[in-house]
């Protein structure tokens, strides 16, 4: 894996760090490929329960590397899109830990994550129009799914930034922390990782997919997804652990 992306595992959490602090973690082809490889690992390894995506040096990601763009480089991975994640996020939960700026493609990386923990001083925006570009990696399409359309339009058309308190009020981020965003994200990840992995995975899938299901098919489609969970070893273990007043020993099956 490229040194532009670093990974390490801690208590079932895969921490993925964009490691280009000298360039405000601007996204390159190599970094995108590194993130894609980390997402493959997150989904493939049973010991990993949650992923965290963050940036080195006090910035999450400032967007596409414009120098690379001028050289004709595209920070896109086939099948996964910009940054190796925006078009095909992992099946397991992914948390963005945001310090500093999440701008342009950086914001698009962030909104591809399931949950967001941000430091109090973080800033967010899609300023592509200021450079004659369009936030085409999900910004203009996905942002209106996460915040009111008029606010999404304002961000897309002005290119202006919002701060962490405003982003929290809009529901764009989950938590604002006074300390390091990674610490806050690890606390959230630990809460998730303590739960049944099959149930967590299917719960995410249903939340993400069900809005596109026809109303008269929703419960039938949900039933197909949850049936294996309710007859799993983990479901029995969860009930037994509750009755015996102990922590569950999840097997993921």
pLDDT per position as a tens digit, 192-220: 999 999 999 999 999 999 988 999 999 99
239, 119: one domain: no
234 falls within a domain: yes
Q: Which domain holds residue 202?
A: 197-244
Collect all residues with Cβ–Cβ distance below 8 Å to 4 and sequence separation of at least 6.
18, 19, 20, 28, 30, 31, 34
Catalogue the active-site residues.
108, 128
Helices (H), 54-148: 66-70, 105-112, 139-146
**Bridge-partner residues for 76, per DSSP?**
82
Question: pLDDT tens, 172-187?
Answer: 999 999 999 999 999 9
Q: Is the pLDDT of residue 253 over 90?
A: no
pLDDT given for residue 196 in this prediction: 94
Q: Which helix (H) or strand (E) holds 8?
A: strand 5-10
Residue 166, SS3 per DSSP: helix
Looking at the structure, do residues 65 and 174 belong to the same domain, yes or no?
A: yes
Whether 10 is in a domain gets the answer: yes
User: Is 252 inside a domain boundary?
Assistant: no
Sign of CA dihedral 20, 21, 25, 26: negative
Alpha carbons 53 and 17: distance in angstroms, whole number? 6
The reply to whether 62 and 185 lie within a common domain is yes
CA 138 to chain centre: 13
Q: Indicate the pLDDT class of residue 74, thresholds 50, 70 and 90.
A: confident
- SS3 label, residue 97: strand
Whole-number Å distance between alpha carbons of 205 and 212: 12
Residue 172 and residue 52 share a domain: yes
Judge whether residue 72 has pLDDT over 90.
Answer: no
Q: Which residues pair with 52 in a beta bridge?
A: 15, 95
| pLDDT band with cut points at 50, 70 and 90 for residue 51 | very high
Give the β-pairing of 94-98 and 50-55: parallel
Render pLDDT for 105-161 as a digit per residue (tens, 0 to 9): 999 999 999 999 999 999 999 999 998 989 999 999 999 999 999 999 999 999 999
């Amino acid at each position: 894996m490229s040194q532009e992306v670093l990974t390490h595992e801690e208590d079932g959490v895969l921490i993925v760090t964009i490691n280009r602090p000298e360039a405000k973690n601007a996204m390159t082809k190599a970094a995108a490929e590194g993130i894609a490889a980390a997402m493959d690992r997150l989904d493939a390894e049973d010991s990993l329960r949650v992923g965290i995506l963050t940036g080195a040096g006090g910035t999450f990601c400032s967007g596409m590397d414009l120098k690379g763009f001028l050289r004709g480089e595209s920070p896109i991975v086939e099948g996964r899109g910009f940054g190796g994640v925006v078009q095909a996020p992992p099946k397991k939960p992914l948390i963005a830990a945001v310090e500093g700026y999440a701008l342009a493609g950086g914001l698009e990386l962030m909104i591809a994550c399931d949950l967001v923990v941000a430091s109090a001083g973080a800033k967010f925006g899609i300023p592509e129009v200021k450079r004659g570009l369009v936030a085409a990696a999900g910004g203009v399409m996905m942002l209106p799914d996460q915040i009111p359309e008029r606010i999404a339009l304002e961000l897309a058309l002005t290119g202006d930034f919002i701060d962490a308190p405003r982003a929290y009020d809009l529901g764009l981020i989950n938590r604002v922390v006074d300390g390091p965003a990674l610490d806050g994200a690890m606390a959230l990840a630990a809460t998730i990782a303590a739960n049944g992995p099959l149930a967590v995975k299917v719960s995410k899938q249903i939340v993400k997919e069900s809005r596109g299901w026809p109303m008269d098919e929703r419960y039938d489609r949900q039933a197909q997804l949850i049936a294996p969970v309710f007859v799993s070893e983990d479901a029995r273990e969860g009930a037994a652990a509750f009755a015996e007043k102990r922590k569950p020993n999840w097997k993921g099956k």
